[in-house]
Structure 1
Amino acid sequence: MLDHLDQRLRKLIEEKNWIKLTRVQEMSYEPITNGYNTLIIAPTGYGKTEAAMFPILNRMLKEDVKPVTVIYITPLKALINDLLYRIDWWASRLGFLVNRKHGEVPQKEKNLRLKKIPHIIVTTPEGLEIDLDWASRFREHYKNVKWVIVDEIHELINSKRGTQLSILLERLKHFIGYDFQRIGLSATVSDENKVAQFLFGSSERKMKIIRLNDTRNFEIKINKIDNNFTLWRNAAEKINQLIEKPTLVFTNSRFSTERLHEELEKLGNKEIYVHHSSVSRDLKNLAEGELRNGNAKAVVCTKTLELGIHVGDIKKVIMLRPPTSVSSFLQRLGRSGHIVHGVPKGEIICFYDFDVLESLALYLSAKDGKMEKPFIDDGLDVVAREIVGMVLQNQKMSIEEALSIIRGTYIYRNLESSRLMDLIQYLVKNNIIKIEENYLKLGQGFFKIWRFNRDARSSWGKDFSEFFSLINNDETFALKHNGITVGEIDAVYVYKHVRANDVIRISGKFWKVLRINTHKNTIDVTPANEGEGEIPIWKGENTSKSSLIVDYIRKIIENFNEYYLTMNEIMDKNSKESIIKIFEEYRKLGLKIPSGDIVLVENKEDEWIYTVLIDERISNTLSHILLYLVTKKYTLNASSRSSIYGFSIKGTPVDLFKDIINMDERKIVKIVLRSILRSPLYIATLKEIQPSFGKISKINTKEDKFLIKEALRQTIKRYFSIKRTLEFIKKVREGKIKMIYTENAGLLREAIFAHAQIRPWLSDLNLTIYQALKGGAYTVNELSEILGISAKSLENKLKQLRRNNNKYKVTSFVDVDSRETRWCLYEDFIDIVKSEEYYSSFSPLNNNEIFAVNLKSGDNQVEILFKPFDLINNPEEILRKIPFNNIEEVKIREAIDTSYQFLQKYYHVGKDTIVYLLLNAVAYLQSLKYS
C-alpha cells in the first residue's frame, strides 16, 4: 500500500518512524481510494483515523480540491481538539488547512474560519446543524465537499444525535447536489450491516465493510467489598489499593462519581480528579491535561471518558459496580492498553452478590464476542427539528422536498406521507411553521421559544443555540432552601422516586422535601435532623441492563460447574464466596434458583415480590401494570420496583399478579397504555420532546393528541415491551413458567430491593380531576373508573378540592333518582342544576313543608327556617338572613315532623350556590320520606 501513496505522504510516515501501517490502514486504502462508502470496524488504538485520512489525503494531493473538502464528524466536543491536532499534523505539512467548529471555539478563531476557508473541518452533528441552518455564508463552501467521515459511529447510532446526523447528511447531499463519499469509524458492533445502512442512507455508491477480526485479549479482576454502613469508605479504600498511576475509575452516575471522589480525598489523595457531564469545561480540561501529562493518579468519571479522548497511556481501568451493557464494559476496559496488541487491564468493584453475577456475565459475553444490537431512535421530534432547520436554511421548503430528504435516511425510509402531514399540521397549530401555497415557512411562534436574549426569556423559553442540539442534557431539579440552591437531582430520578416529605442526602447533608415544582424544576427543602427514611440517590442510577446480562446469568446458573474454573481465574476470594453463597442458600431453602422458567412469589411487609430472571423491559411493564391496579383499587400510596431479577408491588393486600394472569390480552394492553401514561418515564419523555414540537403551554389531552401519542410511542420503545410481556403472561397461564409461593425467595430477591421504589407520578392531580369533571357530574366510583385512581384516594382529594380557596373548586349534590352523591366543578354547578338530566334532584315534592338549616362559619353559626316555596319565589329574602359569604358546614332537617329525622349535610358552600343546595337537600329528604 505504501507504494501507492504520494511521496510527500510517505515522507511524513517515515518522519513518524512508522515501520509499517496497521492492518486496518492497509485494508481500508483500496475501497476508499475507489470511492466506496466504507465502514471501518476495529478496536481502539488501531489507527482508524489515519486509515480513513491517508487515502483521502492521497487523492487530495492529486486532485484540484477546493475548501471545504472534508467534513470530519465526531460525537464529542472533547474529541475535536485531539482530532484537530492529529489530522493537522499530516494535513498542514501537505499544504491543507484544518479547522474546528464547536460552541467553545473562541470568536477570533471563528472569524478566521470565514477569512481562510479550511479544506478539512472537524465538527460535531450540532456544528453541522448550525452551518446548514444558520451560517448562510459559510455553508456555501460545503458545495465543495467530497468526503464525510463519521467517527465513533457506534456511539451516535444509539441516540437522537445519530438520527439527527442521518437527516443532516441527506440535507447536505440535497444542498450540494452531489453524492459525496461516506466513511464511518466504529468500535466492534453486533450488526455491522445496520450501522452501514444507517450511515450510507440514500447514497448510490458501492459499499464496503472493513472489519478487523483480531480478538483482543483483556485482563479483568472481580472484587467484592463488604456492604455495610461504611460502604463508600470500603469502596474508596479498595480502589486506593488497586490504583496504578494513571487509572480511570468509572462509575454509573454523577452522584456516585462525586461520592467516591469525596471518600478518596478523605484518604489523603491529592492527584485525583472528577470528570462527568455536569463538571465545567475548565475542570474537564484540567483532568484530561493532568492525565496526558502523567500528573494525575486517577480520574473518577462517568461515560464521558468512555470514548476515544486522548488522555495518554492509561495503566488500568477500575469500574465501580458493573456497567449495564457489554458494549460499555468493553469501551471502558479498552481505555487501557490503548495501542496495537496492547492488553486492556481492569478491575470491577462489586457492592452486592448480584454485582458479582453481573460482572461474570459481562466477562463471559465479551469473551464470546456477544454484543448488544444497535438501538436506532426514530423519534418524530427529530424530524420536527429538521423540518424547521430546512425552513431556516431555505426560507421556504416544499413539503414534497422535505419528505424526500427525510425518506432518504435509513431510519425514515418508510415514513408515510400522512404521518408527516400530521406532524406538519401540529407544528402549524403551534405556530412554529406555516404553510403558504404548499411551501413551509417559519411561523411567528418559533422565536418566542428559541430566543437570542437569554436574560429576557421566560421560564419556558429556550436559548437559540439550544435549537441546534438534540443532546439530552439530563434535565435536573434544583434543591432550594430559603431561595438558595443547595444541590441538584436528575429530573427522571425525581419523577420516579421523590415525593413530598421524603428525606434525601445531598453533599453530606440530609434534607426533607417540602414541595416539588415541575414548572420551575425546583424542590423546596428544609434541613432534616436524621437520615431515617432517606432515599439513597445512588440506587436511582440503575439504567436498564442489557438482556445479554440476563442470558449469561441464566447460563451461569444452569452450568455452574462449567464456569467454576473461570471464576477462580478472575475473582477474588470474596467474589467467589458471594456466588457460592447464592447457590448454597437456595439449596438449603430447597428451591431451584429462579431462572427464566420459575417465579418465586413472596409477601413481605405489605410488598409482593416476584423473583425471576427476566428482561428488564418485561419487568418494567409488569411492575407498571401492578402499580396501576393498586392505585385504582386501593391507594395512591403505592410503589413498585423492577429489575432483571424480577419485580415487586407495595400497597395491595392480595396477589394482583393472579388477576393479570386471568385477564384478556386486550384488557392487559389497555391497562399497560394507561399505566405508562402515568409513568414518570412518560412524563420525562414528554418534557424532553415537547419543545421540538413548539409546545410550551400545558398539555391538553384533546388538542395535543399528536404529541401525547408520540411521547407514548417513544416511552414504550425505550423502556417497555408489550409483546414480550404478553408472551410471558401467556407462559405463566399455560404453566410453562411456574409460580412458586414461598416465605423466603432467597438472595436474588435482595437484588430487586436494591432498586429504588417507583411511585405513581400525578404531577397535577387537581388539573386531571378538573379536566375529567368539566361539564359533567360524576360519582366517586365513576370518576375512579375514568381516572384509574382508587375511590378512597379520589374521595379524599375531592374533599380537599371543595375548599373555598381552591383554584379547581368542586362541590357535591345528591342525585335524587339514584340516591348517590355526585361531584362537579363549582363553575359548572348552576348549569347542572338547570339541566334536564338532574331536574328532579332540585325539585321538591312539597313546596310548603318547613325545614331548618344550620349554617356554620368558623366559630359563628345561625339557624334559619324556610319553605321550598320561599327558595323558589323569593330567594333574596333567605340570602339576606345569611351573615357570611363562605359557609363551612350546612345541615338541613325537617323542622315540624320529628318522626322523620333525616339530616343532609354539605361542606364549604358559597353564598351564591346555597339556595340550590337547599333545594337539593329538600328534594332528597322528601324522596326518603315519601318513598
Structure 2
Amino acid sequence: MQRWIWAQGWKELRDIQEAAISPVREGMRDVILSASTASGKTEAAFLPICSRLAEGADGSVRAIYVGPLKALINDQFQRLEGLCEGLGIPVHRWHGDVSQGHKSRLLKSPGGILLITPESLEALFVRQGPALKGLLSGLEHVVIDELHAFIGTERGCQLQSLLHRLELLLRRKVARVGLSATLGNMALAADFLRPGAGRDVLLLASPAGGGELRLQLRGYRTQEPDAQRLSAAAEAEGALLAEDERTEDVHAIAAHLFQALRGTHNLVFANSRQNVECYADLLRQMCEQSQLPNEFFPHHGNLSKELREEAEAALKARQRPVSLVCTTTLEMGIDVGSVQSVAQVGVAPSVASLRQRLGRSGRKGGPATLRIYHQEPELTDKSPLPDQLRVRLVQSVAMVELLLAGWCEPPSATAFHFSTLVQQVLSLIAQHGGVKAAEVYSALCQQGPFARVSPEDFVRFLRGLGRAELLDQSNDGTLLLGRVGERIVNHYSFYAAFASPEEFRLVTVGRTLGSMPIDQPLFVGMFLIFGGTRWKVLSVHSEEKVVELEPAPMGRVPRFDSGAVGSVHDQIRERMRLLYVSEQVPRYLDARAQDLLKEGRDTFHRWRLAERGVVSSGGSVYLFPWMGDAVLHTLELQFHALGMPAEVQGPVILVPGTQAGVEEALRGFVAAGPARAEALTAEVENLAIEKHDAFVEASLLARDYAARHLDVQGAWQAAQRLTQSGGGNTASLLPE
C-alpha cells in the first residue's frame, strides 16, 4: 500500500485518511467517515482494508462495498482495480448490467472485494441460499457509500435488514464503514449504521473544507412568451412549435447559462427531467446558432445507460468543453472530474442536496462556484398571498444561508417500513425454503431493523399477508410462500424495495435512447424532445412497449415526474421567518433577486406577519406557523376532520371560511391536546404509497403513514402559538 501511495505522487495523506487507518484496519468496530466531496473517503476506507486483505488468503469474499447506483459501482470498480492491481486482491462487481459469466467466476472462485447494490445483494440471498455462507465465510468489512442516500428510505431499511441477515448467516459481527459528505446528524447516522448500538460507532469527521465559494442567486420574473416571436415562428413554420411556448424567463436563464458556462466544464441541476430536456434543447440550439459544436448534454434516469456513460466520459476526458444538464443522477459521487461550476435551476430539494451538488465544484484547489436561477411570477390583482410573499425565493435564500452555516437536514428514522418488511419476510422464506414465525420475528424485528414492530402488530401483519395469499402455513407452523407470494418472489422486480413504473423504450435505427412513462399519450407523427435532441414518432409497438423515432426539426418535452421535491424542515421555515424580519440583503443576490426579496418583505410587513400568524382576505384565512411540512400537513388534516378543506401552500395553510371560525378551531385543537396521529390518516385518500403497501393491514398502514408524514406534538405547539399571536384587521390582497 505504501508503494501504491508513493506511485500516485502523494506527498501526504488527508486528515480523514490518516484518522481512518487504525480503526478501519483493525476491523473491530463500526466507523463513519464524514468529509466533503472529493476528500478521499473511498481511499480512507480501502487503503487500510486492502492493507489488511493483502496479508490474508482468499477463498471467500473478504470485503463488500455497497453503492446506491450501478454507475457509481462501475466508477468505483475502476478506482479499486487500480488500487488492488499490485496487491493480488481480486475486485468484482455484481449488478444487473454485469454478465453472468463474471458472476459465475466469482461463485466458483470467491475472494477479494465485491462491489454490489442492495438489490443484487438481495438476489444473492434468494438465489444462492445455503451456498451464500461459503461465499462470504471470510467477510471482514462492509463499506456503505453515500450513507445519507439510504437513511430513512425503504431501500435503506432493506439494506439494514440484509446486513443483519448477513451477520445471522455468519453468526458473528462484521465491521461496517459508512461514507458520506452529507450527514446532518452524526448520532442518527450511527444509529442507522448499527441499529440499537449507534453509541458504539466511531465517528470520524474531517474539518477540512470551507474553501473559497463564489455564489450568486439570480432572480427572474415569469412572463408570457413574446407575441412578436410567436408570430414570426408561426409564419416560418406554419404552426406554433412547442419550444416557442416557453416563457421569456426560461429563455433568459438559458441565455445566461450559455454565456457563463460556454467553453468550460460544468453541471447544471435542473431538478425535473422535463427541465433537463428543456434546457439541454435550448442550449444545444444556442450552440448551433453560434456555429459551435454542442457543449451541453442531458443526464437523467430515463436516458439509456449508454447515453449517460457517453456524457460522463466526455465530461471526464476534458478534451473539449462539456456541461451536463442533470437531475439527482450526478449528485452522487460518480467521478466526472472537477467542474468549474455548478448551477441550480429552481429551489433545491434540500440543504443536504444543495451541499452535495456544490461539492462537485472546486475540487482542484480552485474556488467552488454556485449559480442559482430562481423564477417568480409577475404579480397581478389576483396573485395569492404566497406569491406576494415570494416564498419560493425566500426559501432558496434560507437554504443557502443554512448551507453557509454548515447545517443540513438530519436523517429521519421514524417510519415502520411495513412495505419493506413484506419483502424481507418473503425473501427470508425464499432463502431457507420455509421459516417459523417466531424465527422471522426474532431475525427481522426483535434483533433487526424493524424493532419498532411489536409482537402483536407482527401477528396482525402476518395474518394480513396470509389473507392476501402471500403466505401459507404448514401443519407444524412453518411459513411458506403462498400462491401470490411465489409469483412476487419469482418476478425480476422483487429484489428492489421500491416500485418501478412501466415504461416505453425509445429507439432509433436499432439504438436505445432511453425510456418514458407508459401513461404518456403516444401516437405516430407526434414530436418529442429526448436526450437533448428532437424526434418524430415513426411507430408505437404497444405490446413490446417500444417506440421508434427519427430525427425531426421540432419537438415537445414529454412528462416524466413532478421533479425533485423534498419535505421542508422546521429549520428552513424558521430561517425564512428570520429573513422576512431582517433588513439585511445577502450580497449574493443580483438586482432582480433583491427586488423580489424586497417585494416579499414589503408584503410581510404590510400584513404585520411578524406579530400575527392568522390573517384573512376574500373569504379565506391564511395561517403562518413557520414550521416544516410535517407540522403543516398535520394541521391540514385536523381542519379536514372538522369539514374545513384546508390546503398547504408552501409555508402557508389556506383555510376557506371566517377568521373567527378558524381561530375557534385552533383553540379546539389546543384544548384537546396533541391529536391522535393514526386517527388523522382517515382524511388521507391513499395511504398505500410504497411498493408492497397494498398487502399491509389498514391500521398498520395508517400507523406507518403517521410516523412518516405527521408531527402531532409540533402541530399542537404551532396551534398554541397561532392562537396567542391573534389575528387583526382583514386586508386586501392587491400588490403594492
What is the TM-score of this pair, normalised by structure 1? 0.64
Residue 372 of structure 1: which of 396, 409, 413 is its match? 409
Which structure carries more relative contact order (alpha carbon 8 Å, separation 6+)? 2
Pair 1:600 & 2:615 matched: yes
The equivalent of 1:391 in structure 2 is 429
Residue 432 of structure 1: which of 453, 456, 470 is its match? 470
Contact 2:298 2:325 in 1 (8 A): yes
Residue 685 of structure 1: which of 674, 689, 692 is its match? 689
Listed as ranges, the matches of 1:789-828 within 5 Å are: none
Contact 1:291 1:312 in 2 (8 A): yes
Pair 1:660 & 2:665 matched: yes
Contact 1:222 1:356 in 2 (8 A): no
Render the CA deviation track for 1:639-670: whole Å, top value 9, x for unaligned: 764234302256x6897534523546698988
Pair 1:646 & 2:652 matched: yes
Query: Structure 2 vs 1, CA of residues 683 and 574 (structure 1 numbering), >3 Å: closer, same or farther?
Result: same
Render the CA deviation track for 1:460-487: whole Å, top value 9, x for unaligned: xxxx121111134468864465877979
Residue 447 of structure 1: which of 472, 476, 486 is its match? 486
3-state secondary structure, aligned to 2:221: coil
Contact 2:341 2:369 in 1 (8 A): yes
Residue 220 of structure 1: which of 215, 224, 239 is its match? 215
Contact 1:432 1:445 in 2 (8 A): yes
CA distance in 2, matches of 1:537, 1:389: 31
CA distance in 1, matches of 2:561, 2:421: 35
Q: Shift of residue 288 of structure 1?
A: 1.3
Listed as ranges, the matches of 1:535-554 within 5 Å are: 542-554=565-577
3-state secondary structure, aligned to 1:71: strand
The equivalent of 2:353 in structure 1 is 328
* Matched letter for residue 354 of structure 1: V
CA distance in 1, matches of 2:561, 2:462: 41
Residue 287 of structure 1: which of 300, 304, 311 is its match? 311
CA distance in 1, matches of 2:438, 2:519: 48
Which has the larger displacement, 210-219 or 536-545?
Answer: 536-545
The equivalent of 1:150 in structure 2 is 144
The equivalent of 1:615 in structure 2 is 628
CA distance in 2, matches of 1:187, 1:301: 20
Query: Structure 2 vs 1, CA of residues 745 and 102 (structure 1 numbering), >3 Å: closer, same or farther?
Result: farther
Render the CA deviation track for 1:148-170: whole Å, top value 9, x for unaligned: 11111111113111111111111
The equivalent of 1:81 in structure 2 is 74
Q: Shift of residue 127 of structure 1?
A: 1.4
Which has the larger displacement, 92-101 or 234-243?
Answer: 234-243
3-state secondary structure, aligned to 1:445: helix
3-state secondary structure, aligned to 2:483: coil
Query: Structure 2 vs 1, CA of residues 257 and 480 (structure 1 numbering), >3 Å: closer, same or farther?
Result: closer
Query: Structure 2 vs 1, CA of residues 450 and 195 (structure 1 numbering), >3 Å: closer, same or farther?
Result: same
The equivalent of 1:762 in structure 2 is none
Query: Structure 2 vs 1, CA of residues 715 and 408 (structure 1 numbering), >3 Å: closer, same or farther?
Result: closer
Query: Structure 2 vs 1, CA of residues 480 and 415 (structure 1 numbering), >3 Å: closer, same or farther?
Result: closer
Residue 238 of structure 1: which of 253, 256, 267 is its match? 256
Render the CA deviation track for 1:748-789: whole Å, top value 9, x for unaligned: xxxxxxxxxxxxxxxxxxxxxxxxxxxxxxxxxxxxxxxxxx
Query: Structure 2 vs 1, CA of residues 485 and 103 (structure 1 numbering), >3 Å: closer, same or farther?
Result: farther
Listed as ranges, the matches of 1:767-806 within 5 Å are: none
CA distance in 1, matches of 2:709, 2:79: 39
CA distance in 1, matches of 2:678, 2:446: 32
* Matched letter for residue 252 of structure 2: N
Contact 1:595 1:612 in 2 (8 A): no
CA distance in 1, matches of 2:198, 2:350: 35
Residue 126 of structure 2: which of 111, 114, 133 is its match? 133
Contact 1:602 1:745 in 2 (8 A): no
Q: Shift of residue 710 of structure 1?
A: 3.0
Q: Shift of residue 672 of structure 1?
A: 7.8
The equivalent of 2:9 in structure 1 is 17
Query: Structure 2 vs 1, CA of residues 745 and 623 (structure 1 numbering), >3 Å: closer, same or farther?
Result: farther
* Matched letter for residue 434 of structure 1: D
CA distance in 1, matches of 2:526, 2:160: 41
Contact 1:170 1:408 in 2 (8 A): no
Q: Shift of residue 541 of structure 1?
A: 5.8
CA distance in 2, matches of 1:475, 1:598: 45
The equivalent of 1:572 in structure 2 is 590
Which has the larger displacement, 171-180 or 431-440?
Answer: 431-440
3-state secondary structure, aligned to 2:411: coil
CA distance in 2, matches of 1:94, 1:105: 24
The equivalent of 2:722 in structure 1 is 732
Render the CA deviation track for 1:556-593: whole Å, top value 9, x for unaligned: 22332xx33xx12x121111222223334555x4x32x
Q: Which runs of 5+ in 2 are unaligned?
A: 225-247, 289-293, 377-389, 504-516, 529-533, 537-558
CA distance in 1, matches of 2:367, 2:486: 53
Aligned residue pairs total 650
CA distance in 1, matches of 2:11, 2:76: 23
Render the CA deviation track for 1:688-744: whole Å, top value 9, x for unaligned: 3335x3xxxxxxxxxxxx5322332333333333332233223333x2354653222
Pair 1:41 & 2:34 matched: yes
The equivalent of 2:328 in structure 1 is 303
CA distance in 2, matches of 1:303, 1:684: 25
Q: Shift of residue 281 of structure 1?
A: 1.8
The equivalent of 1:887 in structure 2 is none
* Matched letter for residue 299 of structure 2: H
Contact 1:131 1:139 in 2 (8 A): no
Pair 1:716 & 2:706 matched: yes
Q: Which runs of 5+ in 1 are unaligned?
A: 1-8, 452-463, 489-506, 510-535, 634-638, 694-705, 748-931
CA distance in 2, matches of 1:647, 1:598: 10
The equivalent of 2:88 in structure 1 is 95
Render the CA deviation track for 1:411-449: whole Å, top value 9, x for unaligned: 433532222222122222222222232322222222334
Render the CA deviation track for 1:19-76: whole Å, top value 9, x for unaligned: 1211111101111223222111111111111111111111222233432111111111
* Matched letter for residue 338 of structure 2: D
Residue 277 of structure 2: which of 258, 261, 280 is its match? 258
Query: Structure 2 vs 1, CA of residues 475 and 539 (structure 1 numbering), >3 Å: closer, same or farther?
Result: same
* Matched letter for residue 22 of structure 2: E
Contact 2:623 2:652 in 1 (8 A): yes
The equivalent of 2:496 in structure 1 is 469
The equivalent of 2:298 in structure 1 is 274
The equivalent of 2:582 in structure 1 is 559
* Matched letter for residue 467 of structure 2: K
The equivalent of 1:172 in structure 2 is 166
Contact 1:601 1:745 in 2 (8 A): no
Q: Percent identity?
A: 21
Which has the larger displacement, 123-132 or 609-618?
Answer: 609-618
Query: Structure 2 vs 1, CA of residues 666 and 444 (structure 1 numbering), >3 Å: closer, same or farther?
Result: farther
Q: Shift of residue 305 of structure 1?
A: 1.0
Query: Structure 2 vs 1, CA of residues 92 and 206 (structure 1 numbering), >3 Å: closer, same or farther?
Result: farther
Listed as ranges, the matches of 1:21-32 within 5 Å are: 21-32=13-24
Render the CA deviation track for 1:768-815: whole Å, top value 9, x for unaligned: xxxxxxxxxxxxxxxxxxxxxxxxxxxxxxxxxxxxxxxxxxxxxxxx
Query: Structure 2 vs 1, CA of residues 225 and 185 (structure 1 numbering), >3 Å: closer, same or farther?
Result: same
